[in-house]
Amino acid sequence: MSFDRSYGMVKPDSLEQLLSQIRKCRLCEKHLPLGPRPVLRAKATARLLIIGQAPGTRVHASGIPWDDPSGDRLRLWLGIDTTAFYDPDRVAIVPMGFCYPGRLPQGGDRPPRPECAPTWHPALLAELPAIELTVLAGAYAQAHVLGAKRAGNVTETVRAWRRYAPGYMPLPHPSWRTKGWQKRNPWFEEDVLPELRRQVLALL
């Protein structure tokens, strides 16, 4: 490994070294109520990349990404089982924040820590050359990746999915709140999900 000031740390020579660095990261430790436990999966052969929000308490406890009802819903949307979903040779899972960020006073989880994605994503994504489709689950992923190209809100960004094809597929975050959202937006199940499943099946 070599030192690189643009990283502010030792520059890794391989994806394995980079993942090891990430799992040892303590950059925002003082802000994490349960302490740091970076949760992600990636191998250079992965063709599908999933960028979500940040781990919840259940994922923090297990260390397994999307190990909760939101993950069940996401896998249903993708049309794949747990075996395919958790195969890092095929699917990379890289959230906006790698550690559980804590709860908001009014309820719900805090946003992903702002230090995480700018610090680690550029180097990590550079080590994933085979990615053909990136699923952007939720507002934070869409804002970070799409920037000014996203529409006014999550609903409109998802509705405009063709604008981001073929490389990206924006989705709502698959939390329990999405049940009501899907009822109000039947086009999601009729239009978006079949195309998402078609693309994922072709990749995996």
Q: Looking at residues 114-122, what average pLDDT do you find?
A: 96
CATH at residue 47: 3.40.470.10
Of 36, 159, 32, whose CA–CA distance to 103 is shortest? Answer: 32
Residue type, position 81, single letter:
D
Quote the pTM value. Answer: 0.91
List Cβ neighbours of 25 (8 Å cut-off, separation of 6 or more).
Answer: 36, 38, 98, 119, 120
Asked if 158 and 74 count as a contact pair (C-beta separation under 8 A), the reply is no
Domain span at 137: 2-203
Peptide bond into 166 cis (omega under 30): yes
Q: Which residue has the higher pLDDT, 129 or 177?
A: 129
Average pLDDT of the chain to the nearest whole number: 92
Specify the pLDDT at position 105: 85
Please count the structural domains in the chain.
Answer: 1
Of 88, 173, 101, 96, whose CA–CA distance to 127 is shortest? Answer: 88
Specify the pLDDT at position 9: 52
In this model, does residue 3 exceed pLDDT 60?
no
